[in-house]
C-alpha cells in the first residue's frame, strides 16, 4: 500500500511537469549517446588503422644492402651487392621451402612528365610481377606487366594512384605515354589506392619491369631490395632463417661476422602496429573518460535544477505531515525512472548514430562502453536526483517553504 | 476543565548569531484553551509569524517550552513531529502553498495519504472537505485554474481533512479580495463553531473581530489582551 502510493506520487511527479522531465531525460540521453558514439568512432578509427597495416602484407621480409658490413674484416670494401642471382637463389624450392617468392627491387626517384605536366615520383621501382602479389597491390584499371615484359625489357609502367592523378588529372592514363627522365614509357595499368601508412604515401609509386629500370635508369650495380614473401605468416620465422642461411653462404659470411645485408621482418611492422593500437586504446580511454565526465556533469546539473526547483514542494509535503523517508522514496523512484528511461533512449540513439559514417570513419560499437555509459549515467542520475532531495527533506518545513 | 491545547512558556527564537543576531521572540508566554478562536495581531517583524510557525511545528524554538496537548514538543524527534503535523495541526498559509500541477482533490488528499488512509476512504473524506468549503465542482482543477480565494479554500480543506485539533492560519486573507476573505472567514467561523481551536494571524481589525480573543505581539512578546 505504502510503496504503491510512493510509486504513484513519483509517476505523478514525473508527468506533472512534462517539459522538465523531457529535459532531464534529454540530458541523460545525450550523456549516454555521446559516450557510446565517441567510443565507437575511436574504435572504428583504430580498426581502420589495423586493417590498413594488415593491407601492407603480413608475411614479408625485406632484404636491403648494408654498407660497412663484409664477410672478411680485412677487406671491408669487399661487401657484395644484392643481385638478381641472390633473389633467384632465395626463391629456390628445396633450399628455402617456406619462401613463396623473392622479388628483386631496384628503386630510384625519377621525374615523370606528360606534356607540360611533370611530377617527381618518390619511388620508381623496377621489379618482377611477383612483387605485386607480395605487397598486396592490385590493379584498379589496365593490367600489370608480365614475366615476358621483364624478359624483353619493355618500357611499360604501372602507376600508383597518386602519380596517376598528378599526371592525368582528368584522362584515363592507360595507353598513354609518360616520359620518365626523358625516356618514354607506356602506361599499362594504375594500382588501386592503398592509402598512406605513417609518413609515407603508399600511392606515390610507379612500377616497371626490373630489366627496363636497370637498363634505363639505375644501372646494374646492385639491387635496392629483395622483397621475400613467406608462404604464410606462421612460416615467416622459418623463411627468415632459410633466407639468412642462403645469403650468408652466397656472401661468404661466417658465424659471428657482420652481414653485408639487412633483413627486416614483419616484426617491426607488428611492433609498430601494437604501438598504434596502444595509442588508440589510450585515446579511446581518455575520450570515454571525458565524455562520461561531460555527460555526468550534464546529468548532475539537470537533476540539481530539478530538485532545487521542487524544494518548496518538499516543504509543503513536510508541512502536511510527510515523513522524510516517504519524500526520499518518491524522489528516488522519480530519479530512477528518468535515469533508466533516458539511459535506454541514449543507448538507442548511440546505436542508431553509430550506423552512420562519421568524418570518414565507420564507428564500431564497443559493447562494454554501452554498459559503462548506461550504468554510470543511471548512477549519477540516481545520486544527484535523490541526494539533494534527501538534504531538502532534512530541512525544517519552514526552511524548505521559504526556499525560492 | 481540560488542559489547554497550547501552552507556551518563555519562548525565544533567535536567527543568526553575534552582533547580527535577530531576536524574533523574546520570552513569549501564551496559553490557548480548547475550542478557542484566537487572533494574533502585530506589526510586521514583531515575531507573530515565527510564533505561528513554531506552534505549527514547522520550526523549532531556540529556547523555551511548547506544550501541545500537554506534551512537550522538544522531546519529539523529526519522525514524531511529522506525525504531529499530520494528525493534530492544520496549517493555512498566506500564499496558499498548494502543490502546482496537481488537482484540488489530490492536494486535499495529500495529508490522508501520508496518514495511511485507504484510497476509497480518502476520496470520501477529501470530497467532504471540498464540499465544506464549497468547491466540490472544482475538485479536478489544478491550482493555476483556480482564483486566489478558491485556492485558499482548497488549502483550508486540506488543513481540516484530517480533523485536526487545531487550525493555524497565517494571514489567510492577506492575499484575498473582500468577497473571498468573507468566504474564508466564514469557513473558519464554522470550524470554530463545531469545536475546533482556531489561531489566526491578521493585520486587520475586521478579521480580528471574528475571534473570541485577540492578542498583540510587540517585539517578540505578548503586549496586552484586547477584547
Domain boundaries, chain A: 2-52+272-402, 60-265
- Would the CB atoms of B82 and A323 count as touching at under 8 Å? yes
Question: In the 8-state DSSP scheme, what is residue A79?
Answer: P
Domain assignments of chain B as residue spans, ordered by start: 35-54+77-226
CA distance A318 to chain B (A): 7
**pLDDT score of B70:** 86
- Would the CB atoms of B98 and A316 count as touching at under 8 Å? yes
Whole-number Å distance between alpha carbons of A385 and A133: 62
- Would the CB atoms of B87 and A317 count as touching at under 8 Å? no
- Of residues A386 and B127, more confidence is placed in B127
CA distance B226 to chain A (A): 29
- Would the CB atoms of B59 and A397 count as touching at under 8 Å? yes
**pLDDT score of A78:** 56
Which of A23-37, A228-242, A266-280, B54-68 ranks highest by mean pLDDT? B54-68
Q: Which of B59, B85, B101 sits opposite A320 (nearest CB)?
A: B85
Q: Which of A16, A321, A323 sits opposite B102 (nearest CB)?
A: A16
- Would the CB atoms of A316 and B60 count as touching at under 8 Å? no
User: Which residues of chain B have a CB within 8 Å of the CB of A315?
Assistant: 97
**pLDDT score of B71:** 87
SS3 A366: coil
- Would the CB atoms of B58 and A396 count as touching at under 8 Å? yes
**pLDDT score of A198:** 45
CA distance B2 to chain A (A): 26
CA distance B49 to chain A (A): 11
Percent of chain A at pLDDT above 90? 3
**pLDDT score of A69:** 46
Least confident of A104-118, A229-243, B17-31: A229-243
Whole-number Å distance between alpha carbons of A373 and A36: 7
User: Which residues of chain A have a CB within 8 Å of the CB of B58?
Assistant: 318-319, 396-398, 401
**Which pLDDT band holds residue A1 (cuts at 50, 70, 90)?**
very low
**pLDDT score of A328:** 85
What mean pLDDT do residues A299-322 have?
84
- Would the CB atoms of A321 and B111 count as touching at under 8 Å? yes
What mean pLDDT do residues A340-361 have?
83
User: Please, what's the b/e burial string for A162-200 (b: 16 or more CB within 10 A of its CB; e: otherwise)?
Assistant: bbbbbbbeeeebbeeebebeeeebebbbbbeebeebeee
- Does the beta carbon of A316 lie under 8 angstroms from any beta carbon of chain B? yes
Q: Which three cell numbers stand for residue B128?
A: 467532504
Percent of chain A at pLDDT above 70? 87
**pLDDT score of B143:** 93
Whether A79 and A287 have beta carbons less than 8 Å apart is answered as: no
- Does the beta carbon of A11 lie under 8 angstroms from any beta carbon of chain B? no
Element (H, E) at B32: strand B22-32
Question: In the 8-state DSSP scheme, what is residue A218?
Answer: I
Whole-number Å distance between alpha carbons of A392 and B5: 30
- Would the CB atoms of A324 and B110 count as touching at under 8 Å? no
**Residue A224: pLDDT over 50:** yes
**pLDDT score of A76:** 45
- Would the CB atoms of A321 and B114 count as touching at under 8 Å? yes
Task: Please list the residues that pair with B200 across neighbouring strands.
Answer: B39, B169
How many other CB atoms sit within 10 Å of the CB of residue A161? Answer: 19
CATH superfamily for B35-54+77-226 is P-loop containing nucleotide triphosphate hydrolases (3.40.50.300)
What mean pLDDT do residues A99-117 have?
86
Q: Are strands B6-15 and B22-32 parallel, antiparallel or unpaired?
A: antiparallel
CA distance B115 to chain A (A): 8
**pLDDT score of B51:** 93
CA distance A11 to chain B (A): 12
**Which pLDDT band holds residue A55 (cuts at 50, 70, 90)?**
low
User: Which residues of chain B have a CB within 8 Å of the CB of A322?
Assistant: 82, 86, 110, 114
- Does the beta carbon of A199 lie under 8 angstroms from any beta carbon of chain B? no
Q: Which of B56, B114, B118 sits opposite A326 (nearest CB)?
A: B114
C-alpha distances out from residue B150 to A313, B100, B132, Å = 19, 14, 12
Give the A:B interface size as CB pairs under 8 Å. 73
CA contacts within 13 A on the Cβ side of A390: 11
- Does the beta carbon of A100 lie under 8 angstroms from any beta carbon of chain B? no
Q: Which of A2, A323, A397 sits opposite B58 (nearest CB)?
A: A397
Q: Is B120 exposed, middle or buried (0-12, 13-18, 19+ CB in 10 A)?
A: exposed
**pLDDT score of B105:** 94
**pLDDT score of A62:** 82
- Of residues B124 and A196, more confidence is placed in B124
Residues of B at the A interface, defined by Cβ within 8 angstroms? 53, 56-60, 78-79, 82-87, 91, 93, 97-102, 106, 110-111, 113-116, 118, 158, 162
| Interface predicted TM-score (ipTM) | 0.91
Model confidence pLDDT, tens digit, residues B18-40: 888 889 999 999 999 999 999 99
Mean pLDDT of chain A: 80
**Residue A72: pLDDT over 60:** no
**Residue A293: pLDDT over 90:** no
Q: Residue A168 phi/psi, 5° resolution? A: -125, 80
Whole-number Å distance between alpha carbons of A384 and A368: 24
> B47, B52, B58, B96: best mutation site toward chain A, by most A Cβ within 10 Å?
B58
In order along chain B (227 residues), what is the average pLDDT of each group of 10 residues?
83 88 91 93 89 92 91 88 91 91 92 90 94 92 92 93 92 88 91 92 90 91 70
CA contacts within 13 A on the Cβ side of A45: 17
User: Which residues of chain B have a CB within 8 Å of the CB of A397?
Assistant: 57-59, 85
**Which pLDDT band holds residue A196 (cuts at 50, 70, 90)?**
low
Least confident of A278-282, A354-358, B175-179, B194-198: A278-282
CA distance A398 to chain B (A): 5
CA distance A313 to chain B (A): 6
Whole-number Å distance between alpha carbons of A358 and A361: 5
How many other CB atoms sit within 10 Å of the CB of residue A285? Answer: 12
How many other CB atoms sit within 10 Å of the CB of residue B148? Answer: 13
Amino acid at each position: 500500500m505504502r510503496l504503491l502510493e510512493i510509486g504513484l506520487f513519483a509517476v505523478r511527479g514525473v508527468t506533472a511537469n512534462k517539459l522538465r522531465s523531457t529535459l532531464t531525460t534529454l540530458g541523460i540521453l545525450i550523456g549516454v549517446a555521446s559516450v557510446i558514439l565517441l567510443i565507437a568512432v575511436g574504435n572504428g578509427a583504430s580498426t581502420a588503422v589495423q586493417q590498413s597495416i594488415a593491407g601492407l602484407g603480413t608475411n614479408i621480409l625485406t632484404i636491403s644492402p648494408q654498407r660497412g658490413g663484409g664477410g672478411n674484416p680485412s677487406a671491408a670494401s669487399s661487401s657484395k651487392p644484392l643481385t638478381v642471382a641472390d633473389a633467384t637463389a632465395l626463391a629456390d624450392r628445396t633450399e628455402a621451402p617456406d619462401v613463396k617468392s623473392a622479388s628483386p627491387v631496384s628503386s630510384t626517384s625519377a621525374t615523370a612528365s606528360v606534356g607540360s605536366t611533370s611530377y617527381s615520383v618518390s619511388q620508381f621501382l623496377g621489379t618482377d610481377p611477383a612483387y605485386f602479389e607480395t605487397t598486396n597491390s592490385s590493379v584498379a584499371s589496365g593490367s600489370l606487366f608480365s614475366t615476358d615484359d621483364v624478359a624483353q625489357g619493355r618500357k611499360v609502367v604501372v602507376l600508383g594512384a597518386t602519380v596517376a592523378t598528378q599526371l592525368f588529372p582528368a584522362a584515363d592514363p592507360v595507353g598513354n605515354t609518360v616520359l620518365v627522365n626523358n625516356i618514354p614509357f607506356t602506361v599499362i595499368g594504375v594500382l588501386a589506392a592503398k592509402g598512406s601508412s605513417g609518413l609515407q604515401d603508399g600511392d606515390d609509386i610507379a612500377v616497371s619491369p626490373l630489366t627496363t629500370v636497370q637498363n634505363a635508369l639505375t644501372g646494374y650495380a646492385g639491387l635496392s631490395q629483395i622483397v621475400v614473401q613467406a608462404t604464410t605468416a606462421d612460416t615467416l620465422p622459418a623463411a627468415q632463417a632459410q633466407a639468412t642461411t642462403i645469403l650468408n653462404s652466397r656472401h661468404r659470411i661466417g658465424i659471428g661476422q657482420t652481414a653485408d645485408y639487412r633483413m627486416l621482418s614483419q616484426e617491426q611492422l607488428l611492433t609498430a602496429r601494437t604501438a598504434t593500437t596502444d595509442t588508440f586504446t589510450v585515446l579511446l580511454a581518455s575520450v570515454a573518460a571525458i565524455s562520461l565526465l561531460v555527460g555526468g556533469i550534464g546529468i548532475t546539473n539537470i537533476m540539481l535544477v530539478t530538485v532545487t526547483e521542487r524544494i518548496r514542494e518538499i516543504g509543503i509535503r513536510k508541512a502536511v505531515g510527510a515523513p522524510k523517508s516517504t519524500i526520499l522514496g518518491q524522489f528516488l523512484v522519480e530519479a530512477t525512472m528518468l535515469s533508466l528511461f533516458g539511459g535506454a533512449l541514449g543507448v538507442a540513439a548511440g546505436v542508431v548514430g553509430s550506423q552512420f559514417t562519421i568524418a570518414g570513419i565507420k564507428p564500431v560499437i564497443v559493447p562494454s562502453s554501452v554498459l559503462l555509459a548506461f550504468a554510470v549515467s543511471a548512477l549519477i542520475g540516481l545520486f544527484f536526483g535523490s541526494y539533494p532531495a534527501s538534504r531538502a527533506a532534512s530541512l525544517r518545513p519552514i526552511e524548505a517553504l521559504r526556499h525560492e | 476543565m481540560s488542559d489547554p491545547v497550547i501552552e507556551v512558556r518563555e519562548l525565544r527564537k533567535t536567527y543568526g548569531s553575534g552582533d547580527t543576531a535577530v531576536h524574533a521572540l523574546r520570552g513569549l508566554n501564551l496559553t490557548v484553551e480548547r475550542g478557542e478562536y484566537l487572533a494574533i495581531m502585530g506589526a510586521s517583524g514583531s515575531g507573530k509569524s515565527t510564533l505561528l510557525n513554531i506552534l505549527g511545528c514547522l520550526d523549532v524554538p531556540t529556547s523555551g517550552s511548547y506544550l501541545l496537548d500537554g506534551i512537550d514538543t522538544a522531546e519529539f524527534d523529526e519522525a514524531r513531529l511529522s506525525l504531529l503535523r499530520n494528525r493534530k495541526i492544520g496549517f493555512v498559509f498566506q500564499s496558499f502553498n498548494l502543490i502546482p500541477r496537481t488537482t484540488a482533490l489530490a492536494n486535499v488528499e495529500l495529508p490522508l495519504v501520508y496518514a495511511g488512509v485507504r484510497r476509497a476512504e480518502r476520496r470520501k473524506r477529501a470530497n467532504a472537505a471540498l464540499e465544506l468549503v464549497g468547491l466540490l465542482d472544482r475538485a479536478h482543477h489544478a491550482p493555476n485554474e483556480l482564483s486566489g480565494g478558491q485556492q485558499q479554500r482548497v488549502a483550508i480543506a486540506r488543513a481540516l481533512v484530517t480533523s485536526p485539533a487545531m487550525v493555524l492560519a497565517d494571514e489567510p486573507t492577506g492575499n484575498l479580495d473582500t468577497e473571498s476573505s468573507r468566504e474564508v472567514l466564514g469557513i473558519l467561523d464554522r470550524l470554530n463553531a463545531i469545536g475546533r481551536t482556531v489561531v489566526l494571524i491578521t493585520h486587520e481589525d475586521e478579521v480580528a473581530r471574528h475571534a473570541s480573543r485577540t492578542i498583540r505581539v510587540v517585539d517578540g512578546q505578548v503586549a496586552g489582551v484586547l477584547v
